[in-house]
Chain A
Amino acid sequence: MTTTAQTTAQNNAPRASRTLYWLECKSELLKAIRTPQFSAPTIAFPVVFYLIFGVILAGDGGEGRATYLLATFGMFGALGPALFGFGVNVANERNNGWLDLKKISPMPISAYILAKLFMAAMFGLIVICMLTTIGLLFGGLEISPARWLLMITTQLLCAVPFALMGMAIGFRVSTEAAPAIVNILFMLMSVFGGLWLPVTLFPEILQQFAWVLPTFHGGQLALVSIGLSSASSALTHAGLLAAFAAVMALLAARNYRTMTS
């Protein structure tokens, strides 16, 4: 009797935990989809900008351009939901008591973070699929399925450091300040990191400045994944992005420990 009960309990534990993680991910995705203030800009911005820069303004040599910009605008589209999903949403939930309620409950904090990563990845996936469709239909984009898979994997992985940056912001700043801070960082880092236009079109000084931006390295890695040349070796860009991720992870952990609601 006892053994049976124990075995059942043991068998139930992983299943219960799977249900918890699945429901947490599902809730996070539903929340994001049903909140137009979040879903509309994170999807519309990259799509509209890709249409403008990659298709409408392409002119001659548009094919190469559509491919190049799929890599960088895809990166832009992947990092948006990561930065906003953590930066703005965590700040909100920290200040309105929802995170407190969850911390008091037995929910593991890993479920909270994984669910937000899942949501950001799903949104990134949607944006990149839309960009690809636009490129194929109107931009003369040519890409093999294998390349495409490699590219999308790279872009989503490179979005993780921005999720950590969002976390560091969300665990620290007020609900009111978070959207402004995240918007400014998002736009400036994207433009000056060469996600809208190649940095080679910028003056020399801005080309050098791009090196301090994690968006630049993410964009370069996306270019490598699609088979185009990058400013430096993939390893250099990956190393610098990983260093940024490590700093943000430490900052996020520190801000989590010292956070106030």
Chain B
Amino acid sequence: MTNNTTTAISITDLHKHYGDVHALKGVNLNMTQGEFIALIGANGAGKTSLLSVLMGLLPQSKGDVQILGGKPGDMAVRQVSGVMLQSTALPDALKVRELVELFRSYYPAPRPLDELLALTGLGDLENRRYKALSGGQQRRVQFALALAGDPQLLFLDEPTVGLDMEVRREFWRILDSLKARGVTIILTSHYLDEIEALADRLVVIKEGEIIANDATGNIKRRVEHKNITCQTKLATAELEKIGGVLSVVQIGRLKTIATNTENTVLQTLLSNDPDLTDLMVESSSLEDAINSMIGSDADEETNHTHEAM
């Protein structure tokens, strides 16, 4: 089984130019069948360009892309792929059932209609017009269209953006069931809890290049450390001198110390300032790790890590 894996996607030295903009600068990536990859990066990093090339919407400028033995956009590839685009407006006037039936008719071996409606939780809504649905319900219809052809390969571009937690968890359950069916999945998402829960592998893209490509757990371990937060009279400069301290950040009266050797740092801290209060020790999250990697500083203030100078 382990040695018997088949390649689903193979990307070699892929480049994409839009005029002067070099959106993809030599991307190399392989995926085996049944694998679940999360593609992450800041806005404009090249995620959408990469997906667009893979889906056959945009021609590549240079390089080679193989999907299930074919090229992006080949009829044989399209027949076994399903897609959820980041923003799509489906025809308002059509009913849920009409939309799903229409998409089923495009595929040689579609999933049964009732099964699709039940799977995506649309059973009670099948006779509603698309325009009369809530945002979350519309997303489900889009998901049903992506699954209409019983795909072997699924592209999901920000599928759960704007959905509430309950709907997102339901969506995860469905993705888990698809993974169990052996579907190869590429997901882009800004929700790192989602990625941590679902993806086998993380691919981090920055300025058109892949800067990390590893099992989700490995990436987490690699950047993992502890955050010690407390209120102390010790100055930031003093704290930074303690051996094993990676960085110190002050937010209000609290100082947060990042370290991999929390035991020794704690001992030093307590012996130098026995009166310190509000002590708290936490593991850094995957979110911290990713943000430091893609250079997203949007939430720097709540982000307890700070790379050592």
A residues near B (Cβ < 8 Å) are 16, 19-20, 23-24, 27, 30-31, 34-35, 93, 96-98, 100-101, 103-107, 261
Contact = CB atoms under 8 A, between A and B. Distances in A.
B106 A107 contact: yes
Interface in B64-106: 75, 78-79, 81, 83, 85, 87-94, 98-99, 101-103, 105-106
Given A103-B56, A104-B55, 12 more contacts: A23-B105, A24-B102, A27-B94, A31-B91, A31-B94, A34-B93, A97-B87, A101-B83, A101-B145, A104-B57, A105-B103, A107-B106
Given A19-B105, A31-B94, A97 B85 contact: yes
Nearest to A9: B108
B85 A106 contact: no
B159 interface: no
A96 B142 CA distance: 13
B19 to A, nearest CB: 12
Contacts of A107: 106
Interface residues of B, number: 29
B149 interface: yes
A118 to B, nearest CB: 14
Nearest to B148: A105
Given A20-B105, A106-B78, A106-B149, A27 B98 contact: yes
A106 B83 CA distance: 12
Contacts of A261: 57
Contacts of B98: 27, 30
Contacts of B78: 104-106
Contacts of B89: 96-98
B88 A101 contact: yes
Contacts of B172: none
Contacts of B102: 23-24, 27
Nearest to B142: A101
A71 B309 CA distance: 82
A248 to B, nearest CB: 25
Nearest to B76: A106
A104 B56 contact: yes
Nearest to A34: B93
B257 to A, nearest CB: 47
B56 A106 contact: no
Contacts of A96: 87-89
B79 A106 contact: yes
B259 to A, nearest CB: 47
